[in-house]
Amino acid sequence: MKKYLSLVKFAHTVFAMPFALLGYFLGVQLPDRHFDWKLLLLVVLCMVFARNAAMAFNRYLDRNIDKANPRTATREIPAGVISPQSALWFVILNAAGFIATTWFINSLCFLLSPVALLVILGYSFTKRFSALCHLVLGMGLALAPVGAYIAVTGSFATLPVLYGFAVLFWVSGFDIIYALQDDDFDRSMQLHSIPSVFGREKALRLSEVLHLLCAVCILVATWVAQGSYPQVNWLAWGAALFFTGSLVYQHLLVKPNDLSKVNLAFFTTNGVASLVFGGLTIVDLLF
C-alpha cells in the first residue's frame, strides 16, 4: 500500500480535495438540498479514484522518460519497485472504481465520467506535443468543485464554475514553476513545457499572469458567493485574501537563477493555501 501511495503522491490530494469539498457544500446549502454522509463519501471516493488513475497513468506512460531523468529515476516504476504491468492494472481498477462510483451518485455524473477520465488521463500525452500541457493539468483539477456540485444538485451553476476556473489558473501557474526544474532535460528529450519553450524568465512571467487570473477568479467567486449565500461574509473574504497572498509569496520564493525553493513554493505553499481557503470558506458556508 505504501508503494502505491508513493506512486500516486497521495499527499498531493491536498491540492484539489478542499475545492471538491467546497463544491459539495455549496450544493448542500441550497434550500432544496441537505447534508448526506453517503453522498459525501461517494464524492471523496470519486476524487481518490480519479486522482489515483491519473497519477498512476502518468507514471506508467512516462516510465522511460523518468528513468532517463536523474531527478525522477528513483520513482517507483523506473526504480523497479512497482512493475509497469502492476501500475497499469492499478490505473484500470481506479478508473473502473471512478465510473462505478458515479453510477451511485446521479445520471449526469455517470454520463460525464468518461469525459472526466479523458481529460485527466489525456494530460499525460500532452507534454509530447504541446507546451499547453500545464493548462490541461489545470483543467483536470478544475473539475473537482464543478463535479462535486453536480453530484449534489445534478446541474451546473456559475459559482462552482468560477471556482473551477480559479483552480485551472492556479494549478497551471504552479505547474509551470515545478517544470522549471526540468527545462534543460525537456529540451534534450524534445518534450514540451512552457519553461523548455520560452525559458525560465518568460515562464515565470506567464505563471504570474495565470496566478493573477486565479486571484481575480477567487475574488469574483467570493463576491458571487456572498450574493448567493447570505451567511458568507468576512471569513470567506479572509480566506480569499490569504489564498491571493500565497500566490504572491510563491513567486517571491522562486527566481530564474535560483530554484532551491521550488518544492517549498510548489507543495507547502499551495497545500497550505488550498487547505486554509477551502476550510475557512466551508466554515463560513456552514456557520
With pLDDT > 90 as the criterion, what percentage of the chain qualifies? 90
> Does 228 have pLDDT greater than 80?
yes
Confidence category of residue 105, pLDDT binned at 50, 70, 90 = very high
> Does 10 have pLDDT greater than 80?
no
With pLDDT > 70 as the criterion, what percentage of the chain qualifies? 100
- Which parts of 118-269 are beta strand (E)? none
Give the chain's length: 287
Q: What is the pLDDT of residues 240-278, one digit of tens each?
A: 999 999 999 999 999 999 988 988 777 889 999 999 999
> Does 11 have pLDDT greater than 80?
no
Q: How far is the C-alpha of 191 from the C-alpha of 237, rounded, in Å?
A: 40
Q: E strand or H helix at 88, and its extent?
A: helix 84-103
Phi, psi of 193, rounded to the nearest 5 degrees: -155, 160
Q: Which domains does the chain have, with CATH numbers?
A: 2-286 (1.10.357.140)
Name the 3-class secondary structure at 75: coil
Rg of the chain over CA atoms, in angstroms? 19
Q: What is the pLDDT of residues 129-165, one digit of tens each?
A: 999 999 999 999 999 999 999 999 999 999 999 999 9
> Does 97 have pLDDT greater than 80?
yes
**Mean pLDDT (the chain, rounded):** 95
Confidence category of residue 5, pLDDT binned at 50, 70, 90 = confident
Confidence category of residue 237, pLDDT binned at 50, 70, 90 = very high
Q: Beta partners for 258?
A: 255
What is the average per-residue pLDDT within 183-196? 96
pLDDT at 179: 96
pLDDT at 62: 96
Is 0.75 surpassed by the pTM of this model?
yes
Name the 3-class secondary structure at 143: helix
And the C-alpha cell for 61? 506512460
pLDDT at 192: 96
pLDDT at 70: 94
> Does 196 have pLDDT greater than 90?
yes
Q: What is the pLDDT of residues 42-60, one digit of tens each?
A: 999 999 999 999 999 999 9
